[in-house]
Amino acid sequence: MTISKSSSTTPLPRLQALAGAIDTFSELTGRAIAWLTLAMMALTCVVVVMRYGLGRGSIALQESVTYLHACVFLLGAAFTLKRDAHVRVDIFYRRFSARTKAWINSIGTLVFLLPVAVFLLLVSWDFVAISWKIGEVSADTGGIPAVFLLKTLLPLGAVTLALQGLAELARNLLTLISEPP
């Protein structure tokens, strides 16, 4: 009697589904976060017009530009990785086979991306926890009374980047399994 392995019981479709789910999450959040750049530009214009045109300033508006920039940078990193839009030296890479690229990307993810993401998560955890505990507010009068929210972006960015790194690792593993050597 032979036992046939159904494709639904092998881990490959589940691995592909997991990578797809993470990709969808990164794509949706990335597209939403991209709109923050427009808000950041508009707020910067408002700050400039208020300060130099009307002679009035707003610390909260100035800080909100910083908050938006932090959101775009920290939460947009996973979207950038998903879109393969990060900085890479493509002189040799672009000529490599899909299998060689998968090896390079897997090693880069395991040696650099995931350890850095875990390090950022661990290092920022207490920093953020203390900020939440004391309800940290802006040091400037009239500033945004939610510095703890800004600091929360650090571990959140690390988690989203690590998740997308796992999706990339899964996709590279699937390439290594399916591509002939």
Instruction: Give 2's pLDDT tier (boundaries 50, 70, 90).
Output: very low
Domain for residue 157, yes or no? yes
User: Residue 4: its pLDDT value, please?
Assistant: 44
Angle (CA) 112 113 117, round 5°: 115
pLDDT in tens, 97-134: 889 899 999 999 999 999 999 999 999 999 999 999 99
In which domain, by residue range, is 67 found?
12-85+93-178
Domain for residue 3, yes or no? no
Whether the model clears a pTM of 0.75, i.e. scores above it, the answer is: yes
Domain for residue 4, yes or no? no
Domain for residue 73, yes or no? yes
Amino acid at the residue 147: V
CA atoms within 13 A on the CB side of 7: 3
Instruction: Give 6's pLDDT tier (boundaries 50, 70, 90).
Output: very low
Contact 125, 119 (CB under 8 A): no
Token output for 99: 């299998």
Inter-CA distances, 175 with 7, 103, 129, 169, Å = 17, 9, 40, 10
Domain for residue 102, yes or no? yes
Domain for residue 5, yes or no? no
Domain for residue 7, yes or no? no
Contact 61, 43 (CB under 8 A): yes
Provide the number of structural domains found in the chain: 1
